[in-house]
Amino acid sequence: MDIVFHPGVNGSDPYVDFYPYTPSATAGYAFMAIFGVSTIVHTILTIPFRAAYFIPFILGGETFGYYGRAWSHESRTDIDSWALQEMLILCAPPLISATVYMVLGRIIRSFDAEHLSSIRTKRLTLIFVLNDILCFCTQLGGAGVQVTGDANIMNIGKKVVLAGLIFSLIIFALFVLIATKFHRRALRSPPPLLLLYTDLKWTRYMWALYVACFAIMIRNLVRTIQFGASRTAAVNTSEVYIYVFDAFMMFLSMLVFMVYHPGRLIKRSRRLAKAGSSSSNRDSTVETGSGHVLLTEYEPRER
């Protein structure tokens, strides 16, 4: 971790040196703009796709967090700018991952393929979102107590954040395992909707989900190393690690869902399922002259 507490000597006031380098204002403002645009785009996309479950994702945009890093360029010992970037950047991934967890459950339900999931979708969402809330509260609390400036409390906060990061890595690994199992089963034994409408191209959305997951996992892994390493370690003495393995990875998770927004797949799947059900009800029965009902096989038209 990159924080050093200075108790002060000869009557001077104690202070905290939050960075072993001077944060780049240019890089901070650049990623502030990148995340700002990404957040706006995702906010707009929630409307046509009716994707209210993307609200945590939007809240996880790190726009003001990187404003805090740009602000920190003016002073490495200013607690206000450091606290802003620390709280918002460190606690953003749990918000984004909460949406990722909800996306998988909604995809499975839109295919009517709950029988292919290792866990019932309601439990899947509940279990992982609750664990994600725990990770969020852990990291928020750990980051929050560090603004006290007390060396002992700051050290405790560091350990709490580290524990939260390790726990989030384990939870994400389990989630990816469940997602890949569903993916393989759906390829091996496709549900009726995927058999009838092969042009859904659903696998590309699953790969988008994996990209977002691995981007967040890489970010959490590097942050875990950062909090566990000494101040002199390379991951703590060079700002480039923050931008390559945190800022870029979080932007990648937002970008991939901009290109392949799961709301598009979910909305279309539900529309096709509803249309197929209505057509089946209309075309499956024909009354005969004798009053009997003749059942005929429904063959959906190609779309």
Summarize pLDDT for 74-128 with one digit per residue, the tens: 988 888 898 888 888 988 888 899 999 999 999 999 999 999 999 888 888 888 8
Summarize pLDDT for 214-271 with one digit per residue, the tens: 999 999 999 888 888 877 788 888 999 999 999 999 999 999 999 999 999 999 999 9
Q: What pLDDT score was predicted for residue 151?
A: 64
pTM: 0.84
Residue 243 in any domain: the answer is: yes
22-44: average pLDDT: 96
Q: Name, in order, each residue with C-beta under 8 angstroms of 297's C-beta and a sequence gap of 6 or more.
A: 284
Summarize pLDDT for 12-21 with one digit per residue, the tens: 566 677 888 8
Summarize pLDDT for 177-210 with one digit per residue, the tens: 999 999 999 999 999 999 989 888 999 999 999 9
Q: What pLDDT score was predicted for residue 87?
A: 84
Residues 82, 76: Cα–Cα separation, whole Å: 8
Q: What pLDDT score was predicted for residue 289?
A: 43
42-70: average pLDDT: 94
Q: Are 142 and 165 in contact (CB under 8 A)?
A: no
Residue 191 in any domain: the answer is: yes
Residue 303 in any domain: the answer is: no
Q: What pLDDT score was predicted for residue 144?
A: 66
**Structural domain total, the chain:** 1
Cα 253 versus chain centre, distance: 7
Whether residue 293 is predicted with pLDDT greater than 50 in this model: the reply is no
Q: Are 218 and 245 in contact (CB under 8 A)?
A: yes
Residue 17 in any domain: the answer is: yes
**Rounded to 5 degrees, what angle do the CA atoms 173, 177, 180 make?**
135
Residues 194, 201: Cα–Cα separation, whole Å: 9
Summarize pLDDT for 142-176 with one digit per residue, the tens: 766 665 656 677 677 778 888 888 888 898 899 99
Residue 173 in any domain: the answer is: yes
**Could you tell me the residue range of the domain that residue 51 belongs to?**
4-295
Q: What pLDDT score was predicted for residue 295?
A: 40
**Rounded to 5 degrees, what angle do the CA atoms 210, 216, 217 make?**
85
Q: What pLDDT score was predicted for residue 63?
A: 93
Summary mean pLDDT of the chain = 84
Residues 170, 186: Cα–Cα separation, whole Å: 25
Residue 39: which CATH number? 1.20.1070
Q: Name, in order, each residue with C-beta under 8 angstroms of 283's C-beta and a sequence gap of 6 or more.
A: 296, 298
